[in-house]
Amino acid sequence: MQIYNTMTRKKEELVPLVPGQISMYACGPTVYNYFHIGNARPFIVFDTLRRYLEYRGYHVRFVQNFTDIDDKMIRRANEEGTTVKELGERFIKEYYQDADALGVRRATVNPRATEHINEIIRLVQTLIEKGHAYATPDGDVYFSVRSFPGYGKLSGQNIDDLENGARVDPDEAKRDPLDFALWKAEKPGEPSWDSPWGKGRPGWHIECSAMSMSILGETFDIHGGGQDLIFPHHENEIAQSEAATGRPFARYWMHNGYINVDNQKMSKSLGNFFTVREIAQEFDLEAVRMFMLCVQYRNPVNFSRELIQQAESALERLHTAKERLAEAQTAPAETEEDAAFSAQLDEFKTRFCDAMDDDLNTADALGVLFDFARSSNTFVSEPRGKATLEKARALYGELTGVLGLLQHEKSEEFPREALTLLEERQTARKAKNFSRADAIRDELKDMGYAVEDTANGPKLKKL
């Protein structure tokens, strides 16, 4: 499989450190609020990558952290009159609720920064010992950017250019404007932990280094996140980690593009964001996943309700094909047409994998799935061989499953009232009382159900 590596700015063959295994880390949410559609993209992208790698037979260890201690957490907790810990607990739960609905599987491990304070302190200590970091009299610890020769290699930034644009906060006792905090001394009312430099809390960048390396090792395969993390977050992670261990940190860096609103990046600071929670009130979140997968992950994509509706309609087509395949009639024997379709199935699988192998081209892979759906819809218009049908069902399930789609059945529980009406309508139809039948259909429509007359009899469908 080829993946685009931000470090080399090229597509590269993915060759795992340990054959047959992939270790990957993706930056997770800061749990101070509901996450928005833009935040959801990396969750969906890296979940899809993980699913595909597993489909290809890799044993994947996938780590996605929760940042549960930082400035935003503290501010929000104060506003809410709660503790940072309680705030974190709450929004971790909320995260899971939304992520589950988006079809995002639980990571192998979801470490929390506050559960890795010891590792963080050890890492900071190592950096001080090796001369890459220094403590100030106030009890802050900074990373010395100029002590790490490779600084800027991920973002393509020249250290002197950065220097010119760097901001200096007069409160900070940095030796160099580019230096960044590894450890922040306690301020009144803030959560803190004991450390060799006095009470304090970790800086943001060091959390990810400590968590990723303590779980996946000093060198691991893939590190992912949104493009806005390239600088400074990931650049800083590399500097800290490689300065501390003297070994390469992540081997492949993957970054997803933004979700835009009217061509502008969806972000908290611009205020042009939609939380996943609020969109969930209008749409099945599976449509949001579909919407994201319609675009290759590195490209930006505009968000709008209209586009979610388009994705919803497209998804409906995929659902229908699955149902038709499930309900297909079985023929007494396999025929040549079965054999031909079976061969086509093999092609779909190959084409699907070719698309995914090309830097996770989900848009192309979806194209294959729609071709599959069309062929399958035609194929099941008459009874077919059992073995072929089963092969088709299995493959369709596998491939949609790799994309995390069609994972939950649309709720097929209809109220007794609606089912009674459906029966009445059928009786009326048999009696050729079509005006009565149509009246009932309208009635059902008002209740939120569509009626479809299929070869297997009438069916209800949620609108």
Partner RNA sequence: GGCGCCAUAGCCAAGCGGUAAGGCAGAGGUCUGCAAAACCUUCAUCCCCGGUCCGAUUCCGGGUGGCGCCUCCA
* Residues of this chain, 213-232, that bind RNA according to CB under 7 A: 225-232
Q: Give the contacts of 377 (CB within 8 A, at least 6 positions apart).
A: 320, 321, 324
Contact between 302 and RNA per CB under 7 A:
yes
**CB of residue 18 vs RNA: minimum separation in angstroms?**
26
Q: How far is the CB of 96 from RNA (least distance, A)?
A: 16
404 binds RNA per the rule CB under 7 A: no
Please name the helix (run of DSSP H) or strand (run of DSSP E) that holds residue 383, with its range, or none: none
Least distance to RNA from the beta carbon of 33, Å?
9
From the CB of 320, what's the least distance to RNA, in Å?
Answer: 4
CB of residue 414 to RNA, shortest distance in Å: 16
| Interface positions, 54-93, toward RNA (CB under 7 A) | 72
Does 307 help bind RNA (rule: CB under 7 A)?
yes
Nearer to RNA, 38 or 111 (CB): 38
CB count in 10 Å sphere of residue 263: 7
Residue 384 one-letter amino acid: R
Nearer of residues 3 and 27 to RNA, judged by Cβ? 27
Mark the segment that binds RNA (CB under 7 A) among 73-81, 90-98, 257-265, 335-343: 257-265
Helix axes 117-129, 204-216, angle to 10 degrees: 100
From residue 31, how far is each of 38, 58, 93, 232, 443 by CA, in Å?
15, 30, 9, 20, 45
Can you tell me which residue has the tokens 């459906």? 422
What tokens does 214 get? Answer: 């303590």
Q: How far is it, in rounded angstroms, from Cα 175 to Cα 20?
A: 45
x/- track of binding to RNA for residues 91-130 (CB under 7 A) = ----------------------------------------
Any residues with CB less than 8 A from the CB of 161 and at least 6 apart, and which? none
Contact 87, 77 (CB under 8 A): yes
Amino acid, single-letter form, for residue 291: F
The residue among 412, 107, 406 whose CA lies nearest residue 286 is 406
* Separation between Cα atoms, residue 318 and residue 70, nearest integer Å: 42
Can you tell me the distance from the alpha carbon of 444 to that of 422, in angstroms, rounded to the nearest whole number? 8
456 near RNA (CB under 7 A): no
User: Considering beta carbons, is residue 281 or 435 the nearer one to RNA?
Assistant: 435
Q: With contacts defined by CB under 7 A, name the span among 11-19, 316-324, 330-338, 395-403 that binds RNA.
A: 316-324
CB of 145 to RNA, least distance (A): 11
Are 372 and 257 spatial neighbours (Cβ–Cβ below 8 Å)?
no
Q: Is 358 in the site for RNA (CB under 7 A)?
A: yes
Site for RNA, residues 157 to 176, rule: CB under 7 A: 157-158, 161-162, 164-167
Are 37 and 274 within 8 A, CB to CB?
yes
Nearest CA-CA partner of 1 in 38, 59, 44, 53 = 53
Residues 6-35 that bind RNA (CB under 7 A): 9, 27, 29-30
Residue with smaller CB distance to RNA, 16 or 123: 123
Q: How many CB atoms lie within 10 A of CB 42?
A: 24
Sole binder of RNA in the list 233, 289, 322, 384 (CB under 7 A):
233
C-alpha distances in angstroms, 305 versus 280, 283, 299, 302, 312?
Answer: 12, 9, 19, 10, 10
Take residue 378 and report the two structure tokens written for it. Answer: 């035609």
State which residue, 16 or 222, has the beta carbon closest to RNA.
Answer: 222
Nearer to RNA, 21 or 433 (CB): 433
Rounded to a whole number of angstroms, the minimum distance from the CB of residue 398 to RNA is 18
Nearer of residues 105 and 324 to RNA, judged by Cβ: 324
Options 122-130, 279-287, 332-340, 453-461: segment touching RNA (CB under 7 A): 453-461
Contact code string over 30-49 relative to RNA, x by CB under 7 A: x-------xx-xx-------
